[in-house]
Amino acid sequence: MCGILGYLGCRDSAPIVQKGLKKLNYRGYDSWGFGFKNNGKIEIIKEVGDFEKVENIKNNGGNCAVSHSRWATTGKVSKENAHPHATENNEIVIVHNGIIENFQELKKELLKNGHKFKSETDTEIIGHLIEENFKGDFPDAVRKSFLQLKGRNAIVALHNNFDGLVGVKKGSPLIVGIKNNSKREEYFISSDSRAFTDETNKVIFLEDNELVVLK
């Protein structure tokens, strides 16, 4: 169980999560990844190994991003298994901490319904479950899907056509940071408030089964 950091605000999001995720390095990780809005699409960069050496990631007009440092629990250490995990065309993008105890059963059902998977992870099923449950309301589809998961889990989800982030947790931490002044409001969401303490110390600790929609 390693690190999650998401950002939503008025600044370009990729450099912010790249800087913040480094603060979680003390926890260790085997692979890493970023998912961020860039010119109206979600772009994903992920890799095995050390992200300290990665050049500065930039995005243009993308105010929303998620990032993840992984300790593999389900599926080997590989680029395909690194987070974020996405559905086709990066429509729904997920970062996740924890272990989905019933993922084999859920994956079997999803395979029957024609879903295709690129990784061995438990995490990848979440985006596909959201796709199944989606009836036009993204936060509601995340809520329904999360209730199907067994185990201790925290997720942050992005959708190409939803201007915001959705986070929910049970048995694994998720903390919201709020930075505001008279002109603007920015939000952080992380498994560990260290990721954003140089930006704000105004925090909300989510309770188990509490879902947050940052817009």
Query: Should residue 97 be labelled a site residue for ligand GLU when binding is judged by CB under 6 A?
Result: yes
| Nearer of residues 98 and 167 to ligand GLU, judged by Cβ | 98
Residue 67: CB minimum distance to ligand GLU, A: 12
Question: Are residues 96 and 126 in contact, defined by beta-carbon separation less than 8 angstroms?
Answer: yes
User: Of all helices (H) and strands (E), which one includes residue 212?
Assistant: strand 210-214
Contact assessment for residue 177 and residue 199, using Cβ atoms and an 8 Å cutoff: yes
Phi, psi of 111 (to 5 degrees): -65, -40
Site for ligand GLU contains 72 (CB under 6 A): yes
Minimum distance of ligand GLU from residue 20's CB (angstroms): 16
| Separation CA 145–CA 28 (nearest Å) | 29
Distance CA 90, CA 33 (A): 14
Q: Which stretch binds ligand GLU (CB under 6 A): 92-100, 138-146, 180-188, 197-205?
A: 92-100
**Which residue, among 167, 166, 186, has the nearest Cα to 177 in the 3D structure?**
186
Per-residue x/- marks for ligand GLU, 110-129, CB under 6 A?
Answer: -----------xxx------
Nearer to ligand GLU, 43 or 80 (CB): 80
Give the start-end residues of each E strand in 39-159.
41-48, 64-70, 85-86, 92-98, 153-159
Cβ proximity to ligand GLU: between 87 and 123 the closer is 123
Query: Does residue 98 bind ligand GLU (CB under 6 A)?
Result: yes
For residue 37, the tally of other CB atoms under 10 A from its CB is 24
Report, in Å, the least distance between residue 154 CB and ligand GLU.
Answer: 8
36-55: contacts with ligand GLU (CB under 6 A): none
The correct pick among 19, 43, 47, 71 for binding ligand GLU (CB under 6 A) is: 71
Site size toward ligand GLU (CB under 6 A) is 16
Asked if 16 contacts 7 with a C-beta cutoff of 8 angstroms, the reply is yes
Judged by the rule CB under 6 A, the positions of this chain that interact with ligand GLU are 1-2, 70-75, 81, 96-99, 121-123
